[in-house]
Each structure stands twice: as C-alpha cells, then as structure tokens.
Structure 1
Amino acid sequence: MSRLEEIYYEAKADKWLKRFAVFCRVALAVAFLIAGFVKIMGERFAAGLPSNNPLGHYFDALYITGYYYTFIGIGQVIIAILILIPRTSLLGALMYFPVIINILVLTYATRFDGTREVTMMALANLFLLVWDYDRLKHILPFKQPETDAPVVKKPLGVRLRIIFFGGSFAIVAFIIAGTFYLFEIVPGNSEAECINQCATSKNPAACKVFCDCIYKQGKPLDSCLAAFNKAKDLRKVDGK
C-alpha cells in the first residue's frame, strides 16, 4: 500500500473528517431539497432575481418549460435523498457532480454573485467522491492493483486534521478573495447592487452604462460588456 493510500485510510478513520463528510452530505442535500421543492411547487427559482439579470433570463426561460421544470426539481430531490442515505451516498454524489458542475459554469458565465457558494458546493461534492474512493475505484476504467488490508504504518495523527482543515480554510479564503477580483464588473442581484459598485469603479460612467444596459434595456450580458468596454475606450480618448 502506497503512502498516499495510508493517508487516505487514516483520514477515513478520523472522527472529525467523518463528521465533515456528513456535514458536506447534509449541506449539499439541503441545497438540492430547497431548489427541488421550489420547482416541484411550480414557483420560479430565485424569485427575487430580476428578469433582466443575466441569470434571471435563464430562470425565466427555464420556468416556462412546463413539466421539464418539474422534472428537474424531482431529480434534485431524488439526488438529495440518495446523498443523505449512507448506503446510497456514493450514487448520490456521482449524480450530484455533473449537475453542480453545470450550475457552476452557469454562475461564472453570468457573473452571478452566488458563484462563491456554488464553487464551495462543487468542492464539497468532489470531496465526497474522494472520500468514497475505496468504493468508487472498483468502477474506474483502469485495473486496480491488489492490495492488502489497509494498515497505517506512519500515522499523521493530529497533523492530518491540521493539514486538512487548514488547507480547507485556505481554499475557502482563496475562493472568496479570488472571485471578488475575478471580474471587473458584475450585474449584481439587482439594479441597486449594480449601481452601488460604480462608486468604487475606475470607470463610474462606463459602469452606469453597463447597469443601464442590463436592467433598463434588458440586453444580454455580452452586449452590455461590449457597451461597457466601448464607454471605457471613449473616456480614454476624451482624456487624451
């Protein structure tokens, strides 16, 4: 057994990491249960998000797809239940992963303010897949070497928890800081939020052009970004 496998099996036996795995399962399940029941009840998801918001356009279109919208909700509830049950948690995590990756790409593409939370959900899902590697490896498309019963020869002890939780904290901090500086301008969750960022923007006038394009004209995000960049270029020309 390799050193990496030793660390893996030691982690699997650690009570704090077990609790963290349960926390991830519950948190992911709750998120999908809420989202799923909203769809099953026939309500628009993220009802407070304006229709002219880039992600609001998507939710409006999804909402009027009839029983497909309900089907998505039922699927999310089923996945949530599967991930909660220990015996089916791996199946739930496998089904959860492509869905959350799709949502993750969607939130980045539309510059949604909830990108941080969705990124953390995707990482939590990935953690659960790694957590169940001892079961998952049997369906992976490559031959698994025969190994003896797991015996940890050099346990890390408390250092394992420090490394894991310290690393997790560092990743969360990086996500929060990274997404904050990722985009020069974002639509926010409302027109007021969008305009508020203009006060600290390097190009307040261009920022207002962007917000007006999003919320008053209702144009696509790419068109409004083009208008924003054009307004910036005009300011540079005028400043010369």
Structure 2
Amino acid sequence: MNLLSRFEQAHLQAKSNRWLRYFTVFCRIALAAGFLPSGFVKIAGERFTSLSVNHPMGHYLEALHETSYYYTFIGIVQVTAAILLLIPRTATLGAVLYFPIILNICILSLAVRFEGSLLSSPLMVLANTYLLFWDYDKLKFILPFNRSPHDAFLRQQTRSTKFPMAFFARSAAAVFILVLIITNLFEIQPHNTIPDCEIQCKDNGNPQACIDFCNCIHVQGRPIEKCLEAYEKAKKK
C-alpha cells in the first residue's frame, strides 16, 4: 500500500469517528460565526472598525470602505461562505470559498501587525485547513491524484465511538505552538492606540526609539515599514 493509499485509509477512519464529526461541525460553526458579523457590517456599508486612519490597518480598512460596491461584494462573499459552511450539503464548497479569504486576512494581519486578528486569523486558517482535509474524499476528484483501489473497501468501515485522544493532543499542541510563535513573533507592534503602543516601551531596550515608533505610526501616520526602518536605525545608535 503506497503513501496515498495509507493516507486515504486514515482519512476514511477519521471520517467514521463520531468525535471527529462533532469537531468538524464545531469548526464549521466557529468559522461561520467569524464571518457573519463582519460580512453583514460590510453589506450594510458601515466601517468595520474604529481604528484611526493613521494606523496601518485602519488606513487599509478606510480605503477599502471607500471602494463602493467592492466593499459590499466582500461582505456578500463572506456571508455566503459562512452560510455554505452551515449547510451540510454545501459545507465543502463553503470551506473552499472561505480559505482564500481567511488566508488573505491572515497575511494582512501579519503584514501590518494588527493585534485584532493577529492570533485569531492564523487559528482560523488552521481550522479551515482541517476542514479541507476532512473533505478530501470530495476534493480529490479535482486534484491530480489517481483514485485509490481501496476506496470501495474503506467505505465499508463502521462508525467508531472511540475518543481520538492522539488527534486532540496533537491539535492542542499545534494550537499551543502557533500561539507561542505568534505572540513572540514581533519585537514591537503598533497596537490599536498610541497609549497601548507606548506601554510596550517600558520593557524595550531603547524606550525612546519605541516611543518614536509609536508616534511615527499614530501621529505621523507613516507606513509601518518606514516606521520599522526608523526604529531599527534608532536602536543601532
């Protein structure tokens, strides 16, 4: 049995487990809950956050808000993906539609160091990736893989009620490692307001450089890359 066949056998065994089915439903509901509020806000034409336009994410969202029906379109797509996830027959399509949206949000959050979704968006990407693997048996027909000759045999497997301790232990470890990496990824962050930004300066090796960074972001409204460049130069001095 080759590697693909072993993976498909493990996949079918997972799909026959009652606890993993419950976990899948939980992931679908959680992801849908993450998109419905933000999607409806965009459809209503309201600004998504109260961030200052000087903040990198606030500047981006303000520009996005001024894009007329494109802003509304994004909201419609988010709500559509959420609703599709909640309907069993369309959950696979919902997971496929959801993934590029949440991946874009995740990359954006990391790029501008936006604490509002800096942690939640990578976790949502992780949950969405799990759902795509869960629906591998449906998605594999559009993937460049040959069907396994064991499919007919594997589909005959009975439902299992055994609690998958190893899976949940690995999942908890993956979440813990991801949270640990994200929370220690950046030496300095803009945070949402200048008082919040300046709090981190107390523990900074160069407090004045940190304060200048906060002013660069929240007062001057300069791009985050320019502020980080100035911060690094100030540290060296």
Query: TM-score when scaled to structure 2?
Result: 0.92
Identity %: 50
Contact (CA 8 Å) 2:16, 2:157: kept in 1 or not? no
| Aligned counterpart, 2:8 | 5
1:171 Cα shift? 1.2
Among 45, 60, 63, the alignment partner of 2:62 is: 60
Aligned twin of 2:219? 216
Q: Which amino acid aligns with 2:146?
A: K
The 1-side partners of 2:210 and 2:19 are apart by 46
Could you tell me which of 41, 48, 51 is aligned with 1:49? Answer: 51
CA distance in 1, matches of 2:149, 2:19: 29
After TM superposition, the structure 1 = structure 2 runs for residues 130-209 of structure 1, keeping only pairs within 5 Å, are: 130-147=133-150, 148-150=152-154, 157-158=162-163, 161-209=164-212
In the other structure, the counterpart of 2:102 is 100
CA distance in 1, matches of 2:52, 2:14: 44
SS of residue matched to 1:149 = helix
**Residues 214 and 220 of structure 1 are in contact (CA less than 8 Å); yes or no, is this contact kept in structure 2?**
yes
CA distance in 1, matches of 2:157, 2:80: 37
Q: How much does 1:157 deviate?
A: 4.5
Instruction: Mark the CA change 1:101 to 1:211 in structure 2 (over 3 Å): closer, same or farther.
Output: same
Contact 2:40 2:79 (8 Å CA) reproduced: yes
Aligned twin of 1:71: 73
Which range moved further: 187-196 or 61-70? 187-196
Which amino acid in the other structure matches residue 149 of structure 1? F
* Equivalent-residue separation in structure 2 for 1:143 and 1:12 (angstroms): 20
The alpha-carbon deviation at position 156 of structure 1 amounts to 11
Give the number of aligned pairs.
230
1:230 Cα deviation after fit: 1.5
Tell me the amino acid that sits aligned with residue 153 of structure 2: A
Rounded Cα–Cα distance in structure 2 between residues aligned with 1:28 and 1:208: 37
Which one is further off, 137-146 or 225-234?
137-146
Correspondence for 2:229: 226
Aligned residues: CA RMSD: 1.8
Cα displacement string for residues 152-186 of structure 1 (whole angstroms, at most 9, x for unaligned residues): 69x9954xx11111111111111111111111111
Identify the residue that residue 84 of structure 1 maps to in structure 2.
Answer: 86
Rounded Cα–Cα distance in structure 1 between residues aligned with 2:64 and 2:178: 28
TM-score, L = length of structure 1: 0.90
1:111-137 Cα shifts (integer Å, max 9, x gaps):
111211000000100000000111111
Give distance in 1, aligned partners of 2:220 and 2:93: 44
The CA distance in 2 between the partners of 1:202 and 1:144, in whole Å, is: 57
Question: Contact between 1:6 and 1:152, CA under 8 Å: does it hold in 2?
Answer: no
Q: Do the aligned residues in 1 keep the contact of 2:84 with 2:94 (CA within 8 Å)?
A: yes
Deviations 1:206-228 (A, max 9, x none): 11010010001010001100111
Unaligned runs of 5+ in 1: 235-240
Amino acid at match of 2:215: D
- Structure-2 separation of matches of 1:196 and 1:76: 35
